[in-house]
Amino acid sequence: MRKALLYMALMSLSPGALAEARLYFISPQDGETVSSPLTVRFGLDGMGVAPAGVLREGTGHHHLLIDQQTLPPLDSPLPSTDQIRHFGGGQTETELQLGPGNHTLQLILGNHAHVPHDPPVISRRITITVKD
């Protein structure tokens, strides 16, 4: 019985499980018009959230890409910039101050060392409009 449970646990953490993980925005929604500051809430299915520095299979922490038209390299630690925000404490929401106009948001899940998983767990890129 123990061996069967261990096998099932290990299988749930296989690369196939990562491929089935889904990272998404709870809010705001794609195409939404918002005021600034705004609260951004992150959603994750099929994996867990753990702080940076914690090596735990099947987990990661969020990185928020703001107005990035291309993805950063996915084989090295994600840089921390104004456009790539790290949530290494395991946070699942943040408040953003954005100027008026259109903005894109996208999420990437990073491992304990801020490196995207293989295969990467990435949300759809959404566009929001911040009103004056």
Q: Look at residue 132 in the predicted model and tell me its pLDDT.
A: 82
- Going by the DSSP 8-state scheme, the letter that residue 6 receives in this structure is H
Higher pLDDT, 11 or 43: 43
How do residues 78-100 score in pLDDT, each as one tens digit? Answer: 999 999 999 999 999 999 999 99
Indicate the pairing of strand 38-45 with strand 93-96. Answer: antiparallel
Instruction: Report how far residue 13's alpha carbon sits from residue 9's, in angstroms, rounded to the nearest whole number.
Output: 7
User: Which pTM was predicted?
Assistant: 0.85
Domains by residue range for the chain, with CATH: 2-130 (2.60.40.10)
